[in-house]
Structure 1
Amino acid sequence: MGKGNGAGNHAGHMDAIYRTQRHFYDVTRKYYLLGRDRLIRELAPPRGGTVLEIGCGTGRNLIAAARAWPEARYFGIDISEAMLETARAKVQAAGLAGRITLAQGDATAFDAEALFGVSRFDRIFQSYTLSMIPDWQGALREGAGKLAPGGRLDVVDFGQQEALPGAFKRLLFAWLARFDVEPRQALPVVLQQIGGAQGLVDQFTPLYRGYAWAGQLSTPISTAISTSAA
């Protein structure tokens, strides 16, 4: 899939960051990317359903989800080919190549039908990706627009540390900035705006005293029922 200059520049930037980090990414991130396993535990895709991770990185989350919910099909995109190289190897080693399909794609604009032969998904999730995507609002809109009837988009990312000491927040944000990571203060408002524009129900939950924020956009139950009945 072709990429414009902006997406191409971002892809190159991500490859530069993760060309080395990808080899020890999962070992280090498990200590501070909190809320990922909570998201996977609550994923609950329907039997035979489709699950897409936008910004799948090393494939860690998709592998965990595929093991937790074995009756669904899994798909992942990432803009970094370096990360995808690692993800493909991990998926193969886990024996899940038949259930997890990976492709390179820009979170803000991708053709799921062309990449996977699937245009809509029962579950979509974005784990600690919005804080690294320049057009993070576009990435949220893109994901929300690819939900199947009855579908749900789940997000977890860094919060604003609102119930933690100010010194901790300053140190954390300064450290994150070194890796071009910017926690999105406007996330609750943007979830509400996108939900209103696309007819979705929004939900927002601070986790761990605001260390992490979780959000959801879901198809209203009445809409899902009427669509399936038709």
Structure 2
Amino acid sequence: MSAAEAPGGSAAGLMDRIYRHQRHIYDASRKFYLLGRDQLIDGLQPPPGATVLEIGCGTGRNLIRIARRYPSCACCGLDVSSAMLATARAAVARAELDDRIQLAEADATGFDPQALFGLQGFDRIVISYALSMIPPWQGVVAEALRRLTMGGSLHIVDFGDQSGLPASFKAVLLRWLALFHVTPREDLPGTVRALAEAAGADCRIGAPYRGYAMHAVVGRRGA
């Protein structure tokens, strides 16, 4: 998540305040409505020895699944919340994956892979339900595309426009999400397409669960 200024202080401080206590029950509660995360992980299909980065890694839930699903890959995660990273580090240690997963506190709109992880870029980058919490989210997508290796791909899942669901459902969902400073980005598909085109990358976008979620894969063409 981004360290850009948010009402009442930095985004880092805001996220720490929101999740200082919630982080302990985050995974148990979010599994019911953060849909499509495991399908995204199944679709990564990184080559042997690939590097994988999750932006906005939160509790480390996805990174642990990725590391187990693709045991030859090196996994990295960054988040702006020190509270969330504390939970992630404990989870990674319990999973005995300290040697496979590196974590760092950083601003998603501008980070240095070499300084953080000793890497020039990543073969796969994952952003799972994080863009809806980052005000300058367009900059996060642009930065992720910059950090892909040649032939690498960016995988995004987040809230969609709920176009196939009853209007009453959408209204209740938006009120609920607002309690956690979450704002679905209805222009996310168009923005991702435009950024992909500008980067000379291929783009596939879907709207699973009747539009509840948006899933995008942006592939950087090889040399």
- The TM-score normalised by the length of structure 2 is 0.96
Residue 135 (structure 2) pairs with residue 168 (structure 1): no
In the TM superposition, what is the alpha-carbon distance from 1:4 to its structure 2 partner?
6.9
The 2-side partners of 1:9 and 1:207 are apart by 33
Alignment of 1:80-99 (within 5 A): 80-99=81-100
SS of match in other structure, 2:151: strand
User: Closer, same or farther in 2 for the Cα pair 1:23/1:163, shift >3 Å?
Assistant: same
Post-superposition shift, 1:142?
Answer: 0.6
Structure 2 residue 16 is matched with structure 1 residue 25: no
- Compared CA separation, residues 181 and 4, structure 1 to 2 (3 A): closer
**1:214 equivalent in alignment to 2:215:** yes
Q: CA RMSD in A?
A: 1.3
Separation in 2, partners of 1:127, 1:39? 9
* C-alpha separation in 1, matches of 2:63 and 2:196: 25
Corresponding residue of 2:111 = 110
2:50 corresponds to? 49
The aligned residue for residue 130 of structure 2 is: 129
Give the whole-Å Cα distance in 2 for the aligned partners of 1:137 and 1:4: 14
CA distance in 1, matches of 2:93, 2:181: 30
Q: Deviations over 1:8-49 (max 9, x none)?
A: 700000000000000000000011100000001111111001
Counterpart CA distance in 2 for 1:127 and 1:5 is 19
* Displacement of 1:6: 2.4
Q: Within 1, Cα distance between the matches of 2:5 and 2:198? A: 26
Letter in 2 for 1:57: G
Cα distance, 1:197 vs structure 2: 1.2
**Code of the aligned partner of 2:96:** G
Specify which structure has the bigger relative contact order, considering alpha-carbon pairs within 8 angstroms and separated by 6 or more residues: 2
1:195 is matched with 196
Distance apart, 1:5 and its partner CA: 6.3
Cα distance in 1 for partners of 2:220, 2:127 equals 17
Question: Letter of the aligned partner of 2:162 in structure 1?
Answer: Q
1:44 aligned counterpart, secondary structure = coil
Please list the CA deviations of residues 172-212 of structure 1 after superposition, one character each: whole Å capped at 9, or x if unmatched: 01111111100001111111110111111111100100111
Structure 2 CA distance for aligned equivalents of residues 28 and 163 of structure 1: 24
SS in 1 for 2:10: helix
Aligned to 1:12: 13
Contact in 1 for aligned 2:80/2:108 (Cα 8 Å): yes
Greater share of residues in helix: 1
Aligned length: 220
Tell me the residue number matched to 2:149. 148
Q: Give 5+ residue unaligned stretches, structure 1.
A: none
Give the structure 1 partner of residue 178 of structure 2.
Answer: 177
Which consecutive segments of 4 or more residues in structure 1 shift more than 3 A?
none
Q: What residue ranges of structure 2 are gaps of 5+ in the alignment?
A: none
**Shift of residue 79 of structure 1?**
0.3
Q: What is the percentage of aligned positions where both structures have the same residue?
A: 53
